[in-house]
Structure 1
Amino acid sequence: MTYIIDLDTYSDERGDLTVIQKILPFEIKRIYYIYNNKNNLPRGGHRHHKTIQALICLNGNCTISTSNSGLTTDYTLNKPNKCLILNPEDWHTMHSFSENSILLVLASEYFNPDDYIHKQD
């Protein structure tokens, strides 16, 4: 089931420093980010057999719509210290990207096209 975790952030007159350490429920094997979505087209629209993902909107904001066991939820990511955890069974679509948004994704598995499930039963 999808959930939000708060990342440790340290702030002072020099700015903010956010740390991802010993908080993710997996070892990071792949990192990618989504940006320059000039036509604001949705991304995702699938779930996985195995991959767990952690999503952080580093700049701007976007919405992640999830569906699991008949429960549909929208999450707005708009702070770089908020991290959305998607489990393999979570159908997800990333959309409503603001101008200049950057969505960072940390994944538990290397890319494997056989891990993707594109059609809901």
Structure 2
Amino acid sequence: MLNNCQIIELPKINDPRGNLTFIETDKHVPFNIQRVFYLYDVPGGASRAGHALKTCQQFLIAMSGSFDVVLDDGYQQKKFHLNRSYYGLYICPMIWREIDNFSSGSVCMVLASAFYNENDYYREYQEFLTSVRSEQQ
């Protein structure tokens, strides 16, 4: 499943007055966008996320600054460094994610395929691992 998570380059329209990037449902992200939220003013040394989603898909973009995203499918991990507003990271369901190494002034925008639902979250890593490994058997 980790191989399904990937960096996707978004359209970038260069203009001397300022560049423009846009995102369209089912064209640039492989899902219908239901929710948008963003992380900002993250204190130095802090990390965010620390969860997996059962069914929700997400797309993360470094709107400003940079940060690292570590993805874990229960068997292997992969680290992505996001630092351009025209690249996004697609995260499929059942992937544990940790976000850290936020630069000063960074903003992480997240597009989600579903409205917030606490029941869709694994917040304990061991519970996530148990679920992933039971599905593989």
- Shorter chain as normaliser: what TM range? over 0.9
For the pair 1:93 / 2:98, whether they are aligned, the reply is yes
For the pair 1:74 / 2:79, whether they are aligned, the reply is yes
Q: Which residue of 1 is the match for residue 58 of structure 2?
A: 53
Higher helix share: 2
Aligned residues: 121
CA distance in 2, matches of 1:38, 1:45: 16
2:11, 2:21 within 8 Å by CA — same for their partners in 1? Answer: yes
Q: Which residue of 2 is the match for residue 108 of structure 1?
A: 113
Q: Secondary structure at the match of 2:21?
A: strand
TM-score, normalised relative to structure 1? 0.95
CA distance in 2, matches of 1:44, 1:69: 16
Report the identity percentage: 31
Coordinate RMSD, CA, aligned: 1.1
Q: 2:17 aligns with which of 14, 38, 61?
A: 14
Q: 2:31 aligns with which of 23, 26, 29?
A: 26
Q: CA deviation at 1:69?
A: 4.5
CA distance in 2, matches of 1:61, 1:105: 14
CA distance in 2, matches of 1:113, 1:12: 42
CA distance in 2, matches of 1:25, 1:111: 18
2:60, 2:90 within 8 Å by CA — same for their partners in 1? Answer: yes
Q: Which runs of 5+ in 1 are unaligned?
A: none
2:44, 2:102 within 8 Å by CA — same for their partners in 1? Answer: no
Higher RCO structure, 1 or 2 (CA under 8 Å, sep 6+): 1
Q: CA deviation at 1:23?
A: 1.4
Q: Secondary structure at the match of 2:19?
A: strand
Q: Secondary structure at the match of 1:15?
A: coil
CA distance in 1, matches of 2:58, 2:29: 9
Higher strand share: 1
**Aligned amino acid, residue 117 of structure 1:** Y
Q: CA deviation at 1:35?
A: 0.3
Q: CA deviation at 1:12?
A: 2.0
CA distance in 2, matches of 1:39, 1:69: 28
Runs ≥4 residues deviating over 6 A = none
Q: Please list the CA deviations of residues 46-66 of structure 1 after superposition, one character each: whole Å capped at 9, or x if unmatched.
A: 111111000000000000000
